[in-house]
Amino acid sequence: MTHPLSRRTVVKSLVWVSAGTVFGERRAAAEPAKLSVSDPAAVALGYVENASQVDSKKYPNYVKGSTCENCLKLEGKPGDAYRPCELFKDKVVSVNGWCSGWTAEM
Ligand code: SF4
């Protein structure tokens, strides 16, 4: 009597399960891209990677000391250098950055 699962079938199944695990882990580990200052959406809102670079003549609403880190629209995990922002979906922004969408935390 032969077993319904051949050795070849079992080995193939294990290879597929392993490959799925590896690719699944890679997908989970993929980080969103950092928002580029040259991205049209970033340019439109005057995003800079470091708030010290804000042109306060061009953006008179800039409040000294304001950064992404103390902006209401910053999302994600405190402590990370780059975090998601409500305004720039699928990208992360520098916590030291700033844009004209800055909103004071409550
Ligand atoms: Fe940074 Fe806030 Fe502008 Fe988002 S909305 S880029 S968190 S200042």
Q: Give the pLDDT of residue 4.
A: 61
The answer to whether the CB of 34 is under 6 A from ligand 1 is no
CATH number, domain with residue 87: 4.10.490.10
Whether 85 is covered by a domain: the verdict is yes
Distance, in Å, from the CA atom of 28 to the CA atom of 23, rounded to the nearest integer, reads 9
Q: Is residue 12 part of a domain?
A: no
Residue 53 domain-assigned (yes or no): yes
Q: Is residue 63 part of a domain?
A: yes
pTM (global) more than 0.85:
no
Q: Look at residue 1 and tell me if it is in a domain.
A: no
pLDDT digit string, tens, across residues 38-67: 999 999 999 999 999 999 999 999 999 999
Q: Is the CB of 68 under 6 A from ligand 1?
A: yes
Show the domain range for 63.
32-94
Which residue among 77, 99, 100, 106 has the greatest number of ligand 1 atoms within 8 angstroms of its CB, and so is best to mutate?
99
Q: Is residue 7 part of a domain?
A: no
pLDDT at position 106 is 81
Q: Is the pLDDT of residue 98 over 70?
A: yes
From 68, 99, 100, select the one nearest 84 (Cα to Cα): 68
Taking 80 as the threshold, does the pLDDT of residue 68 lie above it?
yes
How many structural domains are present in the chain? Answer: 1
Tell me which DSSP letter residue 31 carries: P
